[in-house]
Amino acid sequence: MAANHVKRAFKYRFSPTDAQAAELSRTFGCVRKVYNLALAARTQAWTRQERVNYNATSAMLTAWKKTEELAFLNDVSSVPLQQCLRHLQTAFTNFFGKRAKYPRFKSRKKSRKSAEYTTSGFRFRDGKLTLAKMREPLDICWSRPLPEGMSPSTVTVSQDAAGRWFVSMLCDDPIVKPLPATDTAVGVDVGLDHLLILSTGEKIANPRHERKDRARLAKAQRVLAKKAKGDGANRAKARRKVAKVYARIADRRRDHLHKLTTRLVRENQTIVIEDLTVRNMVKNRSLARAISDAAWSQFRSMLKYKAQWYGREVIAVDRWFPSSKLCSVCGTLQDKMPLNVRTWTCACGTTHDRDVNAAKNLLAAGRAASACGAGVRPQRSSPGGQSAMKQEVSRREP
């Protein structure tokens, strides 16, 4: 790898005291308020064709603190307030660079509750983390140790919709050396009946975490729907129950994907996948729920950063590559391949499993692209030659 260290976030659960929870809740509210004020100021300036940057909003923050109406901003640490202004600056930079949409205002109910502290806003000594404006360290559940001899450069405290508290510490994680190089490569085709199909012939079952908890989720949502709308305690309690079901689903899905991606990276030097546009696929209303539950985007993201850490290679083959209709033995392209055909026999006499054949073709295409230095996308075929997954999203979830 190019460097022996990577920036890595270590996330832990913690249980705040009543005083700490109150202080953090105030901080979350102040961060949201400052972000919205700065966004409004920059938006108004934009209509007047005036330029407002981070330095200008920082000066505004100083002025806001001196007003009677916003004097409460002085009660919390200034570090998270400054950090939210930096985040807003990054959001505008991405917007002007056409990498993101225009920044949106933060909602009290729907936006993520979080606050980021830099080194001047916390103290980390002897394995204990103490935030600014707090007397006692956080009671953190250390599920895994931080890198030896490393201290966090930033700390982000958050509370999810289920009421759970988390602290994320960004550290330089030393990776002494990549994994030993191997000559193994694998093609990976994703699906709904099976989550992953490997070119080796192995099929990994789709656990369907959301479907397993669908009855529990539906019951919690029915209870929430019957509560009177507003800020009542009963509605808030019902909303947390729904959030807890969602959190359970997300946690199990993430754990499963971590195990799969780690295994693929450890066992293979080169991993070839299909370059899918999941954002467009979820527009299919009959399959959006199943595609979201499969979390293909999350799988690809995990695979890419783990491969980068440990000296592996991930190749993405163009989504229009006809992996399903191409014979992996003789290279003959079939004219049609209906979705109800799960096994087929080529003119050369080879009988193919549809999904395994697609994975083998992805592997061959990825190797060819890597060998010729053509990048991660082989020559695109006509849109009529759809891949197995492009066709898969046109049928209903079983």
Locate 14 and state its tokens: 């913690």
**Residue 372 confidence (pLDDT):** 66
223-251 pLDDT per residue, tens: 999 998 887 899 999 999 999 999 999 99
Confirm if 187 and 362 have CB atoms less than 8 A apart: yes
**Which has the closest alpha carbon to 354: 220, 244, 203, 221?**
203
The pLDDT confidence band at residue 324, using thresholds 50, 70 and 90, is confident
The better pLDDT of the pair 342, 194 is held by 194
Higher pLDDT, 372 or 222: 222
- Dmax (CA) for the chain in angstroms is 83
Say if residues 48 and 90 touch (Cβ distance below 8 Å): no
Q: Which of 23, 116, 293, 355 is catalytic?
A: 355
43-60: average pLDDT: 92
- pLDDT computed for residue 51 by the predictor: 86
377: confidence class by pLDDT, cuts 50, 70, 90 = very low
SS3 sequence, 224-292? HHHCCCCCCHHHHHHHHHHHHHHHHHHHHHHHHHHHHHHHHHHHCCEEEEECCCHHHHCCCCCCHHHHH
Burial class (CB in 10 A: 0-12, 13-18, 19+), 102: exposed
* Catalytic residue flag (residue 23): no
Average pLDDT over residues 149-171: 93
Q: Single out the catalytic residue among 189, 210, 293, 392.
A: 189
Query: Could you give the percent of the chain with pLDDT greater than 90?
Result: 59
Confidence of residue 287 (pLDDT cuts 50, 70, 90): confident
- Residue in 210, 274, 293, 392 annotated catalytic: 274
Distance (Å, whole) CA 84 – CA 91: 10
Kindly indicate the confidence band of residue 146, based on its pLDDT and cuts at 50, 70 and 90.
Answer: confident
- 104-118, 170-184, 260-274: segment of lowest average pLDDT: 170-184
- Domain chopping of the chain, boundaries: 6-173, 178-206+248-374
- For the domain 178-206+248-374, what is the CATH code? 3.30.420
Task: Please say if the pLDDT value at position 190 is more than 70.
Answer: yes
Per-residue pLDDT, averaged over 382-388, amounts to 41
The yes-or-no verdict on residue 391 having pLDDT over 70 is: no
Residue 202: per-residue pLDDT: 93
User: pLDDT band for position 348 (50/70/90)?
Assistant: confident
Q: What is the pLDDT of residue 282?
A: 81
**Which pLDDT does position 141 carry in this prediction?**
95
pLDDT at 373: 60
344 versus 272: the higher-pLDDT residue is 272
Which residue, chain included where needed, has tokens 């407002």? 52
Judged against a pLDDT cut of 50, whether residue 381 lies above it is answered with no
**Would residue 172 show up in a list of annotated catalytic residues for this protein?**
no
Q: Is 355 a catalytic residue?
A: yes
| Inter-axis angle of helices 296-309 and 233-267, nearest 10 | 50
In the predicted model, is pLDDT for residue 379 greater than 70?
no
Rounded to 10 deg, the angle between the 54-65 and 18-47 helix axes is 120
pLDDT band at 22 (very low <50, low <70, confident <90, very high): very high
Q: What is the mean predicted confidence (pLDDT) over 217-226?
A: 95
pLDDT at 384 over 80: no
**For residue 393, is pLDDT > 50?**
no
What integer pLDDT is reported at residue 329 of this predicted model?
Answer: 86
pTM: 0.81
Confidence of residue 4 (pLDDT cuts 50, 70, 90): low
Q: In this prediction, what percent of the chain has a pLDDT beyond 70?
A: 91
Q: State how far Cα 135 lies from the chain centre.
A: 34
Query: Quick one: pLDDT at residue 181?
Result: 87
* Distance, CA of 251 to CA of 244 (rounded, Å): 10
Mind listing the pLDDT tens digit for each residue in 67-103? 999 999 999 999 999 999 999 999 999 999 999 999 9
**Mind giving me the DSSP string for 185-231?**
EEEEEE-SSEEEEETTS-EEE---HHHHTHHHHHHHHHHHHHSPSSS
The mean pLDDT value of the chain amounts to 87
Average pLDDT value for residue range 325-329: 85
